[in-house]
Amino acid sequence: MIYFYNSIDNLLKLEAIFGEKTDKRLKEIQDNIQYEMICRYRSVLNVYSQKWRPVNDIGRIQFSRMHRLSPSLIRDAHSIVIVRYLRKWTESINNVIMNLEMKFS
């Protein structure tokens, strides 16, 4: 979760002329990841486990350099990659939650 949070943070730091709507939606996703997932789970898990690494020590999606593209095209490409990974991850986590619900119901 923190991995995707940090990846979105990198994306939002890229300067782009266009994409305000995309920025707004990505910021909403990032806020949901932070407040609805990371903060809640860290609070619970800190009670039962050892101390977590700082958020800044957790990785993020690494992109290769794309020198020949404009900054807005680079940003669009990064957005698509992050959103696709995030979508795949949410589908996977949804399957885990559904399996757990079936086991414990």
DSSP category for residue 55: G
Would you list the domain boundaries of the chain? 2-104
Tokens standing for residue 28: 């909403």
pLDDT computed for residue 31 by the predictor: 92
Q: How far apart are CA 4 and CA 59, in angstroms?
A: 9
DSSP 3-state of 72: helix
Which residues lie below 8 Å from residue 78, measured CB to CB, with a gap of 6+?
Answer: 10, 11, 14, 61, 63
Per-residue pLDDT of the chain in tens (105 residues, 90 and over written 9): 888 888 888 888 876 666 778 888 889 999 998 888 888 777 766 666 667 677 778 888 888 877 787 777 888 888 888 889 889 988 888 888 888 788 877
Which residues lie below 8 Å from residue 59, measured CB to CB, with a gap of 6+?
Answer: 3, 6
